Homo-oligomer: A and B are copies of this chain.
Amino acid sequence: MKSEYTIALDAMGGDFGPEVVLPASINFLKNHKGVRLVLVGLEDELRDRLQKLGASEGDNLQVHHASQVVEMDEPPSKALRGKKDSSIRVSINLVKDGIADACVSAGNTGALMATGRFVLKTLAGIDRPAIISALPTIEGHTHVLDLGANIDSTSEHLFQFAVMGSVLSSAIDNIESPRVGLLNIGEEETKGNDTVKVAAQLLSESELNYIGFVEGDDIFKGGADVVVCDGFVGNVALKASEGLAKMVSYYMKEEFNRNILTRFVGMLTLPVLKAFREKIDPRQYNGASLAGLRGIVIKSHGGADILAFENAINIALIEARKAVTEKISNHLESLLIKRQQD
């Protein structure tokens, strides 16, 4: 069976590199036929590791050499200039050259974004790519952007984020007209800074299904399919929520470990807590898109485990299947033409 989709994987990136990427790839291929994964990185090491895992190269699993590795804390500009054969760069090159339909990396976010912009360029009408990810809500999930690629976004940038988020949500969730909310510190029209107010105006006048301002707690409440914000705000909100979740889990463990009785109760509770965790398991939501590039680039969390990385590969596959890049591009074009006519 010929592979319908090819996904390049930066096999060296993230806190665990090939230790996570290789097993994740092998697992992924068990459940997905018609997909070819290309492992990009130090070929000898990768082949060695594949062998130890009892796997081998074939039609649907290939190794592609890249001689350099970008460190997690390396300045993006340095990586871009100095490491032209890094696993990040080569993975993105495979997308540019049409060999891969998408790529995934758990590596240095800044370097991935800088390389993506340099190699692939942004779509016409997009000034800055944005990081977008699905987050769980009481209703299901919502797509939030920007999660940290851009600081000091202008109203026009926020508008472009909204377009990208809307198209992405529409393609991935099969919603005709996703509800777009703009993150603010109040729901009244008078609240917020000028940037947000002008963006609200742009969104009201657009063809998007703009539902108005939403507040921080609305992200997880549901109600919006897309939540738009500046990258500084989005990054802090996302990380603060992660921090709170960790604290909650820490205190809960502490209480269940208090004495033999609470430990016993804790054991009884395990199946319930497991079912609960599966619902909001952050690993399920691993895989953020660098939206606005002329190609699909998925960023996995640096600390992703095997299951989490598999999920990031899955997001790459969904976006490739749904041809989100083309859809964003088409939608932007029609919006741009409409604006010029106005």
Interfacial residues of chain A within 21-73, with CB under 8 A of chain B in the complex: 73
* Interface check A174, CB cutoff 8 A: no
* In the complex with contacts A255-B272, A272-B256, A193-B243 CB distance below 8 A: no
Pairwise interchain contact B236-A229, C-beta atoms closer than 8 A: yes
Interface string of A249-282 (1 = CB under 8 A from B): 0111011101000100110110111011001100
Contact A245-B244, Cβ < 8 Å, known A185-B236, A256-B272, A275-B258: yes
Residue pair B280, A248 in contact (C-beta under 8 Å): yes
Interface residue? A217 (CB, 8 A): yes
Q: Is the CB of A244 within 8 A of B229?
A: no
Contact of A243 with B272 at beta-carbon distance under 8 Å, contacts A185-B151, A185-B232 already known? no
Contact mask for chain A residues 210-234; partner B; CB cutoff 8 A; 1 contact, 0 none: 0000011111110000000101110
How many of A's residues come within 8 Å of B, CB to CB?
Answer: 58
A302 at the interface (CB under 8 A from B): no
- Rounded to whole Å, the gap between the CB of A237 and the closest CB of chain B is 4
Q: Does A207 contact B (CB under 8 A)?
A: no
Q: How far is the CA of A266 from the CA of B248 in the complex (A)?
A: 18
B239 touches A241 (CB 8 A): no
Instruction: Report the bound CA distance from A188 to B193 in whole Å.
Output: 27
Q: Is the pair B256, A239 in contact by a Cβ cutoff of 8 Å?
A: no
* A205 contacts chain B at the CB level, 8 A cutoff: no
CB–CB B137/A247 < 8 A: yes
Question: Could you tell me the distance between the alpha carbons of A151 and B193 in the complex, rounded to whole angstroms?
Answer: 6
Tell me if A152 is interfacial: C-beta within 8 Å of chain B.
yes
Does A340 reach chain B (CB closer than 8 Å)? no
**Which among B190, B219, B231 is the interface contact of A75 at CB below 8 angstroms?**
B190
